[in-house]
Chains A and B, each alone.
Chain A
Amino acid sequence: MSLTNFHMFHRNDLIVIVLYALTMLSVSCEKDPEPLTTNSVITGYVYLDDPDFESPTGFEVVASGPYGQKSASISNDQFVITGLGNGNYYLDYSRDNYGSVRQYGIQLFGNDTAHAEYVQLYKKPSPNFVMPEFIRASVVDNEGYESRKIIRIETNYSTYETYWPVRLFMHVSKEVSCSEYMESYPTMANYVNELYIEPSWLHFSSGTEVFVIGYSCNPRDNGYLDTYKNELIFSTLDKNKHSNVVSFIMP
């Protein structure tokens, strides 16, 4: 038997098992932190951006902090989470068929009531919505009473709705996506199969080729700031449901 072989050395020996057991025992002796105070409260309001006027209930708010998670009790649009220990928390807001939101930076010192900044939840587009194919983008004369250029995207979609569940992302790179973009706007439909963008909204230099892609997203969802990552989050956006990329020359 070679002593350099660990398995052979401990053959028929309980020492490895004992070593493992003691290691587990020592880890299990560590205690979770215990709060200095346990009577703090987080309260706030949730608003539903609901075109169907559903009841402003049914949402869930969960506080995550140093001692685990705790759910809110909810009355109408107000939530209250009681019995919280001191420390920093974040809140997760969710509701069926609505985009979820995370809100960082709730501080509880003890014996206090923290009021969370109000949150609005937006309804996700219908799962039946099929992302239209973008046929081409071009700069055309607006046919309205005011003579000006607009950017038109022709699609294979057909609807009489003014607001499509589509958000556009633009970049000077053809690798544009919802995570790599320079500008983003919800869309408005001009005709049954066309989207348009106001050039005055955009900050690209004249003559620049701008690539554009559309993602399924509630057009009223303007995003919230994930303050931990410093990223704008569109909670109703479906990363897997997007159009092809087309481009136009900035007028």
Chain B
Amino acid sequence: MKIRKIRSGVWAICLAFGFMGCSNEQTFLPDLEGNMVGYVLTCDEFADPLDDHGGVLVSTFGAAHIAQIHTDARGRFEFRNLPAGTYDLFFEKSGFGNMKQIGIQHLGGKPTILGLSFNGSNQGSFRLYQLPTTQITQLSLENDTLSGEFDFAGDQPNNLTLMMFLSDESDFVTGEAKKIVTRYMAMTNGVYQGRMYAGDLPFQPGEIVYYRAAVVVGDGIFFSSNNIAFIEPDTYINYNTGRIIYPNLGNESDQFSYVSPE
């Protein structure tokens, strides 16, 4: 009796399994899947690549699919069997500025490769920069020349980039600055200096201009003459607020001021 029950059970499982196997025959296809492969380069606060690119948490957000994975020491990550669709990627690691890449089209089938090209270029690869530890102790603007003094935690670099926030109001909030510009500062005769032309700034002659600055890491954030930003891979846009996110900004300096020249 017991044997008969067991046999009946096995038959029932077999039949159910057989029917289930054919039940997807009418499913609308394709819903392709495929792997998504990319590389993240981690760099120090002066944009020099580190030896170990591991430990970066990569999150991918699709319409119906969210996945997370860590990079290996070479910076490689691979999401397996990701359904075809458009994805956003978010990169984060403690002590580093984060990064976001939106609108990645993943078609499925063979792997989607991000950031590397056949000819060896890695221009589109993702980069995370260590957050700046450099402190700005003095900034002066005179005769179209910006001069700065800094405290460095490590070795003194040959050059660095500042993001300048300028306003005609004292104690302004940087988010409400009248003008934001980035300036490349190079060591010249023992002093860090960069060019900043008063004529390019929206201030009247004789007006007191207040400014603060922060060290920014990355290869460059460029602004056109009409203040339109060209987004480089070290920035991204927050589409909820419409603002550009600068994830690699250091601490803001104290406020300084100068009189806009006649």
Contact surface of A with B, Cβ cutoff 8 Å: 3, 9, 15, 18-19, 22-23, 25-27, 29-31, 33-36, 64-67, 85-90, 103-105, 107-109, 117, 119, 223-225, 227-228, 230, 232
Contacts and interface: CB of A to CB of B under 8 A. Distances in A.
B26 to A, nearest CB: 10
A35 to B, nearest CB: 6
B110 A87 contact: yes
Contacts of B109: 65-67, 87-89
B69 interface: no
Given A3-B3, A35-B30, A224 B110 contact: no
B107 A108 contact: yes
B223 interface: no
Contact of A227 (B3, B14, B113): B113
B154 interface: no
Contact of A34 (B25, B29, B39): B29
Q: What secondary structure prevails in chain B residues at the interface with A?
A: mixed
23 contacts: A15-B11, A15-B14, A22-B15, A22-B21, A30-B21, A31-B25, A31-B29, A33-B29, A65-B110, A66-B110, A86-B30, A86-B32, A87-B30, A87-B32, A87-B108, A89-B110, A104-B118, A105-B112, A107-B112, A119-B118, A224-B120, A225-B117, A228-B37
Interface in B16-37: 17-18, 20-22, 24-25, 29-32, 34, 37
B10 A19 contact: yes
A107 B105 contact: yes
Contacts of A31: 25, 29
B30 A66 contact: yes
Nearest to A1: B3
B76 interface: yes
B259 interface: no
B89 interface: no
Contact of A66 (B10, B32, B37): B32
Contacts of A19: 10, 14
Contacts of A105: 111-113, 118
Contact of A27 (B21, B76, B108): B21
B21 A26 contact: yes
Given A29-B25, A36-B30, A66-B108, 6 more contacts: A22-B21, A25-B21, A26-B20, A34-B30, A35-B30, A103-B118
Nearest to B108: A87
Contact of A225 (B10, B21, B24, B118): B118
A22 B118 contact: no
Contacts of A119: 118
B65 interface: no
A213 B30 CA distance: 50
Contact of B22 (A15, A26, A35, A90): A26
B7 A15 contact: yes
B22 A66 contact: no
B110 A104 contact: yes
B14 A18 contact: yes
B119 interface: yes
A93 B106 CA distance: 24
Interface in B87-142: 105-113, 116-120
Contacts of A36: 30
B10 A25 contact: no
B74 interface: yes
B17, B18, B106, B112: most-surrounded residue (chain A CB, <10 A): B18
A85 B30 CA distance: 10
A230 B116 contact: yes
B31 A33 contact: yes
B118 A30 contact: no
A143 to B, nearest CB: 35
Contact of B111 (A22, A34, A88, A223): A88
A225 B124 CA distance: 14
Nearest to B11: A15
A215 B74 CA distance: 25
